[in-house]
Amino acid sequence: MVRKTKEEAAATRDQLLDSAESVFFDKGFANTTLMDVANHAGLTRGAIYWHFKNKHDLFEAMIERVHLPIEALAEACADENETDPLGKFKEFSVQLIRLIATDKRQQRVFSIMLHKFEFNGDVTQIEDRQKVSFVECHDRIKRTLKNAIKRGQLPKDLDLDQAAQVKHGYFTGIVNNWLFYPQSFDLNAMAETIVENYFFLLTNSPHMRLSQQQAVA
């Protein structure tokens, strides 16, 4: 039983990615063998080396599979022509938290990224990719907030950079903690409150505004 058709081959590839998610989540990235992944899929290492260049290539493919659709959603919030950027942003933020809180696949992949994978000196490709996402995310938030200011939804002297930094840190921090210790609180139930608190800061906190000197400069 070799040489499947194109669709069967694609299914095999997905199987391998599913296995990678499962095994990386259970054993951690560095600690899992490609044989582990292959066995879990009922295949051999030969299949992995056919579909992917190596272990890191497999990892990147696994990340991309869940990362791309989320990025598309986030990008929609940052659209200049969006007439309710703040509302859209708020809605997206709650949805994303809820998604992570309920979808097993998202939980596994995010958990792997945050707690079951380590950055080491020689594999800069993955770290670089993460940094690009990091910067893009920060930029997207800033564009969204800028549009919200333009449309009078947020104060004009809002410190955009800080607001973006706080949003990114605050949200990922809470998700990070929950993924590390899911029993510690109910993420799904807290989703709205978490988001509301951030937007409360945006509109009300004097510490989120540009200082006089910064505003002048």
Contact residues toward DNA (CB under 7 A) are 1-6, 8-9, 12-13, 33-35, 38, 43-47, 49-51, 54-55
Residue linked to tokens 């989120």: 208
Which residues, at least 6 apart from 101, have a Cβ–Cβ distance to it below 8 Å? Answer: 178, 187, 188, 191
From 10-18, 40-48, 61-69, 161-169, give the range in contact with a second copy by CB under 8 A: 161-169
Nearer to a second copy, 73 or 135 (CB): 135
Nearer to a second copy, 13 or 27 (CB): 27
- Residue (of 28, 60, 163) closest to 154 by Cα position: 163
Nearer to a second copy, 79 or 196 (CB): 196
**CB of 84 vs DNA, minimal distance in Å:** 46
- Residue (of 108, 22, 113, 106) closest to 70 by Cα position: 106
**CB of 210 vs a second copy, minimal distance in Å:** 11
Give the relative orientation of helices 160-180 and 104-115 as an angle to the nearest 10 degrees: 100
Binding a second copy (rule: CB under 8 A), the pick from 157, 177, 188, 210 is 177
210 binds a second copy (CB under 8 A): no
Residue linked to tokens 């990922």: 172
Nearer to a second copy, 121 or 152 (CB): 121
- Residue (of 99, 95, 109, 101) closest to 58 by Cα position: 109
- DSSP state, 53? S
The DSSP bridge partners found for residue 158 are: 209
Could you tell which of DNA, a second copy, none binds residue 216, using a CB distance below 5 to 8 A set by kind? none
Could you tell which of DNA, a second copy, none binds residue 115, using a CB distance below 5 to 8 A set by kind? a second copy
Query: How many Å apart are CA 208 and CA 57, to the nearest integer?
Result: 41
- DSSP state, 153? S
80 binds a second copy (CB under 8 A): no
- Which residues in this chain contact a second copy in the complex, by CB under 8 A? 26-31, 115-122, 130-131, 134-135, 138, 161-162, 165-166, 168-177, 180-181, 184-185, 190, 193-194, 196-197, 200-201, 204-208
